[in-house]
């Protein structure tokens, strides 16, 4: 995924399914477009937060 799309998903009122390259579902919490990274919550645990390169994120078709 590119940083612009990650930012669109983050700012949207709609929900999109996104997963990390490991296949785990993630929730985008912040996107740094210039840095090309996103802060994501992995799975259902609010304490499992990681900053990853946006290229590691994949939008899942509904």
The CATH number of residue 53's host domain is 2.30.30
Residue 60, strand partner residues: 17
Range of 31's domain? Answer: 3-60
* 16/61: higher pLDDT: 16
Decide: residue 18, CB within 10 A, 0-12 exposed, 13-18 middle, 19+ buried.
buried
pTM over 0.85: yes
Confidence band of 62 (pLDDT split at 50, 70, 90): low
Counting the structural domains of the chain, the total is 1
- pLDDT tens readout for residues 13-60: 999 999 999 799 999 999 999 999 999 999 888 899 999 999 999 999
Dump the DSSP string for the chain.
--HHHHHHHHH-SS--EEEETTS-EEEEEEEETTTTEEEEEETT-TT-EEEEEGGGEEEEP-
């Amino acid at each position: 995924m590119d940083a612009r799309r990650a930012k669109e998903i983050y700012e949207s009122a709609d929900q999109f399914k996104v997963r990390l390259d490991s296949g785990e579902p993630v929730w985008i919490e912040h996107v740094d477009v210039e840095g090309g990274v996103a802060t994501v919550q992995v799975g259902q645990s609010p304490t499992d937060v990681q900053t990853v390169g946006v290229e590691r994120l994949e939008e899942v078709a509904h």
